[in-house]
Chains A and B, each alone.
Chain A
């Protein structure tokens, strides 16, 4: 929603054949940390973990994110309580050792439900971004490689998608599907509306990379366009795409929980972070913990994605490492 790099409608870019190559503007989180992580130089291979450990904030984000994912994946094995079982003898219990996050209006343990809720949010987030990656990389790669009218058509579609109040349209769709909204449908809808950033980045990298001699060489030895694009050009897009996809993951999670919050996500009793927040609205004054913990999980996940995305950007971009 908010992190798209600025290109839409920048009229300079609309000048037909002489399109300016879009150089994505800096990441919204640039310079969050005063000491940028060290850049591994050539011949001096440093493991991911070693680089990560140099940046405490990113390291923390990695650990927290791993914990959240771990909790979500193994939720069914670790739950001391049944996530959906209504227990009218333990309603509205404040956080305690028995119920670390308290219990809700139906006596269900919030900690257990939060872990299970993560399964929905994270699954939707990851799957939607996988779809967005697929669409974005193909669209951007084809647009950048072939150029001409193909490029114009695809980039117009990108501009269009960026200017549309996508959330309205998704809500409209979910209300048509409701109350039978499946995880698949959510992934499809979110994935189909989050690919534009990736497409723009991939296109920009492909346009600059295809001018290199090794591409001419590949063409001379008779490689097919598809092979040149997939095997020789797309690998160059890994770093920026990784950064965009991590930011996109945060977006997808926010959209999914926003939909659930409005009642158009995965339907109850299946716990989801947004859905739990919707229920919590009625108990704000007496039982704040019902609202605090599910929201905190969304917030933590999104912070971690944002920080990690920034870290990846810094770590993979030599131009940006070090002080400026």
Chain B
């Protein structure tokens, strides 16, 4: 098991490196280079700009710069300073990361709960009215773009029925309360999770239907294992394996969705930080966020792989 884990670990990190190298190279390709924000500012004299450029190390060859950047990141966790605010990028990310993780975590949890249980229900009641309803709702769910869903639910729940707040994490000028915070979290989390609820329940339904048609399920039934034991101890466990891959594959989409959701609902997380960075062309910040996001996705993939190994001995023991 340990060997398997280490092998997967070794496969994951080159990925993060390559993504950052590509972004780094792209950053150099920007018109006027990554420090154009500085030189475009009329208050910055050309000599100041040159000074700053050498401070950031921008005259060196790209690969050398990348090496230096990586060294600082790995050794000191130092992503450099923002071109716009001068703050260390790591501090900015640290400030915003918890909010993002909370939103994505909540969305993930909702998607997992409703997606998996919806899929199981549909598979067990195939071709009934419940099943068709679930399939129709999930068809809408996988087709609705997250930004439109966000706007529409804002229009319904905030503007029309005045049920839920539309922006931010807390009500301003009110003492902190958990209930208030959850009220703010509910709509963004639901909007972010709908796509995954829909897609995971569809996969779960397909996968579980396939498993339920297998001979070993019939054998278990024939031997007198009770209905729910057959489903939950034998079938669901095996059906979960391909669904887990889908979940792991959807992680980048979860991050993507969070950029858009955070932007719509003014949720002060990393996605919004990224969006602000885009608007202000703050490339050091963007690099830092892309690195952290790829890193997180890589780690989560690794966790998924490990769960795989636990669920399915065939994978763990293969070579």
Contact = CB atoms under 8 A, between A and B. Distances in A.
A14 to B, nearest CB: 7
Contacts of A291: 148, 151-152, 155
Contacts of A11: 4, 8, 305, 308-309, 315, 318
A227 B245 CA distance: 36
Nearest to B243: A6
B22 A302 contact: no
A238 interface: no
Nearest to B306: A11
A306 B253 CA distance: 18
Contacts of B74: none
B249 A176 contact: no
A6 B259 contact: no
B148 to A, nearest CB: 3
Interface in A7-33: 7-12, 14-16, 25-32
- Residue in A160, A165, A277 with the greatest tally of chain B CB atoms within 10 Å: A165
A-side interface size class: 35 or more
A262 B275 contact: yes
A299 B256 contact: no
Contacts of B127: 34, 323
B145 A254 contact: yes
Given A2-B253, A10-B245, A165 B305 contact: no
Contacts of B195: 1-2
B64 interface: no
A164 B252 contact: yes
A175 to B, nearest CB: 4
A165 B255 contact: yes
Nearest to A6: B245
Contacts of B18: 160
B114 interface: no
Contact of B206 (A4, A25, A281, A296): A25
Interface string A290-302: 0110011011001
B57 interface: no
B76 interface: no
Contact of B139 (A12, A25, A32, A324): A32
B270 to A, nearest CB: 10
Interface in B239-259: 242-246, 248-250, 252-253, 255-256, 259
B286 A172 contact: yes
Interface in A278-309: 280-281, 284-285, 288, 291-292, 295-296, 298-299, 302-303, 306-307
Given A12-B314, A303-B140, A167 B259 contact: yes
Interface residues of B, number: 80
A261 B127 CA distance: 38
Interface stretch (B43-51, B89-97, B291-299): B291-299
A295 B148 contact: yes
B317 to A, nearest CB: 10
Given A162-B249, A164-B252, A165-B256, A173 B304 contact: no
Nearest to B209: A324
A277 B148 contact: yes
Interface of B, secondary structure class, is helix
Contacts of B108: none
B207 interface: yes
A63 interface: no
A274 B263 CA distance: 14
Interface in A174-196: 175-176
A168 B209 CA distance: 36
B155 A172 contact: no
A8 B248 contact: yes
A281 B264 CA distance: 9
A163 interface: yes
Contacts of A28: 142, 199, 202-203, 206
- Residue in A6, A14, A257, A306 with the greatest tally of chain B CB atoms within 10 Å: A6
A219 to B, nearest CB: 32
Given A175-B278, A298-B145, A29 B139 contact: yes
B151 A2 contact: no
A258 interface: yes
A263 to B, nearest CB: 8
Contacts of B281: 175-176
B132 A164 contact: no
Contacts of A264: 278
Given A25-B242, A34-B132, A169 B19 contact: yes
B271 to A, nearest CB: 9
A74 interface: no
Interface stretch (B23-31, B172-180, B214-222): B23-31
A113 B243 CA distance: 41
8 contacts: A1-B250, A9-B301, A15-B319, A164-B297, A167-B259, A176-B27, A291-B151, A306-B142
4 interchain residue pairs of minimum CB distance = A6-B245, A295-B148, A167-B256, A1-B253
